[in-house]
Amino acid sequence: MLHVLQKSFKGGIHPPEHKVLTASKPIQELPPPVRVVIPLQQHIGKPSEVLVQIGDNVVMGQPLSKSSGFVSLPSHSSISGTVQNIESFPHPLGQMVASVIIENDEKDRMSKQIKFQSDYMSLSPEEMKRRIADAGIAGMGGATFPTHVKLSPPQDKPIDTVLLNGAECEPYLTGDHRLMVEHPEEIIEGFRIILRILDVNRGIIAIEKNKPDAISIFQKFVKDDRRIEILPLRVKYPQGAEKQLIFAATRRRVPAGKLPMEVRCLVHNVGTAKAIYDAVAYNKPLIDRVVTVTGSVKNPKNIRVRIGTPLQDLIEFCGGFVDTPGKIIMGGPMMGLAQYTLDVPVIKGTSGVVVLPSEQVREMRLQPCINCGKCVEACPMNLMPNLLSTYIENNLWDKANSAGVLDCMECGSCGYVCPAGRNIVHNLRYGKFMIMEQEKASKN
């Protein structure tokens, strides 16, 4: 069933989309790199424990590490070759992380465990979850929360609605869009696996209306499945954020500080659904993903990339920079992270590499708030970013906490609309960090 309502949420912004650069470009395969750098932590939770040693020969899909707990994930080799080193290496999140460095033998030998099983839908939900955990799947929309954990809600939090997130509301990014156009059947099969695991009969695939081709394709493939509904959404940022998506689709409001399961919902990204299908049907680990490389590069593209590939390889595959870049962002320009080196590898949560020219990099100014209220209107979490930022600038942690700073999802809407150019998101992120550090200290 196709909804005609343009459902949305209060707040949000309409930044220029810049998606025309890559929206119509099919996914291309990036040749395997000379070497890969596989971090042992590509997920929220405990780092994984290394299984290999320097000098070991490995094949594609072979586990390099094992989970160190329930909220943890293994990492796998994305090429075949020799373990060159195990050392701390620059990570996209900004710190040094223990990583396995593998030199490519250019043979692409694959693990024998990776093979198609035609009766995969007859597997038990527990076996499906085990395969998903063993495949190392984390949320591929950028959050990187272990997927098998998300698929294991407590018994007192029953789920009745699952949403598949195809909004891709970040400017520039089109990898999810291309994945939906080119691999709809695998995504839908992955969604059906999710519904089976959770024993849920209501699934909503939510897609922003600027992707009419994807909406039409998905409508065709689910027309005979009464459990699945296609929901076109109004184009607005951050439409793809979990709480905003749930409200737009169901009118259920997730309470402050709570998870979607509080309102009997779960949200998964379309890329995650594709990876779930690969894991359950093929026993294939998460060793590659689609990345949009765009902005100020000579030939913007959507690329299927092996996990662990250096960013430099992606930039070169797109013809290099148009000019000296002002900023290189992993992810989208609103919530992505600026990178200081192109040596950092693609990880499970890498949705895009956006190169901004100098003229598009906004200079933040340490100006006082002019109390215009634009950030309050834009905030999709119904917070008062102006007040929170002022509290944090004056080290008033208790007041910032009471005013709800921990509910901030750092979407960047407030900073985008601020006419004074205040660095609001940085302040709020810093305030959240300080409050959480104080809470940790009080428990010790």
Distances in Å between the alpha carbon of 172 and those of 176, 197, 274, 351, 353?
A: 11, 34, 21, 11, 9
- Alpha-carbon gap, residue 37 to 154, rounded angstroms: 36
Residues forming a β-bridge with 184: none
Distances in Å between the alpha carbon of 214 and those of 24, 110, 182, 403?
A: 12, 32, 9, 40
Q: What is the pLDDT of residues 7-65, one digit of tens each?
A: 778 899 999 999 999 999 999 999 999 999 999 999 999 999 999 999 999 999 999 99
Q: In what order do the strands lie in the sheet with 203-208?
A: 228-233, 203-208, 161-166, 265-269
Spans of all domains in the chain: 19-24+115-282, 374-443
- Alpha-carbon gap, residue 63 to 104, rounded angstroms: 16
The DSSP string of 264-329 is: TEEEEEHHHHHHHHHHHHH---S-EEEEEEEESBSS-EEEEEETT-BHHHHHHHTT-BSSSEEEEE
pLDDT value at residue 6: 52
| 443 burial via Cβ count (<10 Å: 0-12, 13-18, 19+) | exposed
DSSP state of 54: T
Which residue is listed with tokens 């070497």? 35
Helices and strands in the chain: count of H runs, count of E runs: 13, 16
Task: Yes or no: say if 170 and 352 are a contact pair by the CB < 8 Å rule.
Answer: yes
Residue 138, Cβ neighbours under 10 Å: how many? 26
At the second CATH level, the architecture of 19-24+115-282 is 3-Layer(aba) Sandwich (3.40)
> Is residue 236 pLDDT above 80, yes or no?
yes
Q: What is the pLDDT of residues 344-399, one digit of tens each?
A: 999 999 999 999 998 877 766 667 889 999 999 999 999 999 999 999 999 999 99
The DSSP string of 102-137 is: EEE-SS--B-TT----TTGGGS-HHHHHHHHHHTT-
Which residue is listed with tokens 């290496």? 89
Q: Provide the residue count of the chain.
A: 444
Chain-wide mean pLDDT for the chain? Answer: 94
- pTM score > 0.85 for this model? yes
Percentage of the chain exceeding pLDDT 90: 89
Q: What is the pLDDT of residues 171-212, one digit of tens each?
A: 999 999 999 999 999 999 999 999 999 999 999 999 999 999
Question: What sign results for the dihedral spanned by CA atoms 348, 351, 355, 359?
Answer: negative
- Alpha-carbon gap, residue 340 to 351, rounded angstroms: 18
> Is residue 139 pLDDT above 80, yes or no?
yes
pLDDT value at residue 359: 80
Residue 71, sorted as left (phi over 0), alpha (psi -120 to 50) or beta, turns out to be: beta
pLDDT value at residue 365: 65
> Is residue 125 pLDDT above 70, yes or no?
yes
> Is residue 4 pLDDT above 50, yes or no?
no
Task: Yes or no: say if 38 and 98 are a contact pair by the CB < 8 Å rule.
Answer: no
Would you call 204 helix, strand, or coil by DSSP? Answer: strand
